[in-house]
Amino acid sequence: MKGKKEIIVATVVVAGVLLTLFFYLMGTGEIELNQIGLVGIAIVLVGLAMYIIWDKISNVKKGLPEKDERTISISYKAGYYGFIAAIWSAVFTPLFFDVSSEYELKGGDVTAIVVLVSAFVFVVSYLYLYWKGK
Amino acid sequence: MRTHIKELRARYDLTQEDLAKMIGVRRETILFIEKGNYNPSLKLAHDIAKALQTTIDELFIFD
């Protein structure tokens, strides 16, 4: 039951993110290049999250648990990698933009980049560890 | 680390999914343990050994 509740919550979150992206894109007049990149990462993340949810649902349908000691362990590892990515991106994103372009990043931009980069690293490392088996 | 899980599963005519259901883990976890790609916890190793009516010593081969 607990697993089913988590799946429902995750599905609602994915639907919420998709709706937010939809309204964001509808409300934005002209989309800049950096916004396309960020929205692209968000869409990839939603796709990967939907795959993870589908995998959990198919396990529950077969009568298997949606998580076990291996998936819990890889969640912790992926979370660690995501945390490291968040720290590095928070430090180096403003530096990178300072050195390489004249575009001055706003606080909100840095926050968005940090959140998206760390989430991307988390999901990619989760899937990598998931398929590698460790 | 190598294991005898596959041979013992065959002896009892169990699929990976059957064994996974018996011990309450995902099928992929059994697959990766069989392939030697994942080292299970002591509790999981004990549960697998119990399900296959053997001991941890007989189930796992530590190279």
pLDDT tens digits, residue range B4-53?
999 999 999 999 999 999 999 999 999 999 998 899 999 999 999 999 99
Domain interval for residue A60:
1-34+46-67
Q: Let me know if residue B63 belongs to a domain.
A: no
Which long-range contacts link B14-22 to residues 24+ away (Cβ below 8 Å)? B17/A62, B17/A64, B19/B48, B19/B51, B19/B52, B20/A64, B21/A63, B21/A64, B22/B51
Neighbours of A117 (CB within 10 A): 20
- For an interface test with A, the pick among B18, B26, B32 (most A C-beta atoms closer than 10 Å) comes out as B26
Of A59, A62, A133, the CB nearest to B38: A133
Q: Judge if A54 and A99 occupy the same domain.
A: no
* Selection from A20, A27, A10 nearest residue A112 by Cα: A20
Minimal-distance CA residue of chain A relative to B32: A133
Say what angle helices B27-35 and A69-100 make with each other, to 10 degrees: 90
Query: What pLDDT was estimated at residue A2?
Result: 56
List chain A residues with CB under 8 Å of B35. 133
Report the domain count for chain B.
Answer: 1
Domain count, chain A: 2
Domain contains B62: no
A65, B32: Cβ pair inside 8 Å? Answer: no
What band does A12 get if pLDDT is binned at 50, 70 and 90?
confident
Looking at per-residue pLDDT, the higher value among A8 and B32 belongs to: B32
Tens digits of residue pLDDT in A58-100? 888 888 888 889 999 999 999 999 999 999 999 988 888 888 8
ipTM, 2 decimals?
Answer: 0.85
Residue with token string 């950096």: A34
Of B25, B27, B32, the CB nearest to A133: B32
Alpha helix (H) ranges present in chain A?
Answer: 2-27, 33-61, 69-100, 107-132
Q: What CATH code is carried by the domain that includes residue B33?
A: 1.10.260.40
Determine contact: B35 vs chain A, CB below 8 A.
yes
Asked whether residue A41 is assigned to any structural domain, the reply reads no
Report the run of H or E that residue B3 belongs to, with start and end.
strand B2-3
- Give how far B58 is from chain A: nearest CA, Å: 22
| Inter-residue contact A8 to A66 (CB < 8 Å) | no
| Same domain, yes or no: A1 and A62 | yes
Asked if the model's pLDDT at residue A6 lies above 90, the reply is no
Task: Note whether B32 contacts A: Cβ–Cβ < 8 A.
Answer: yes
pLDDT, greater one: B54 or A101: B54
User: Are A75 and A60 within one domain?
Assistant: no
Q: Which domain holds residue B45?
A: 2-57
> A3: pLDDT confidence band, cut at 50, 70 and 90?
low
**pLDDT tier at A134 (50, 70, 90 boundaries)?**
low
Q: Would residue B52 count as lying in a domain?
A: yes
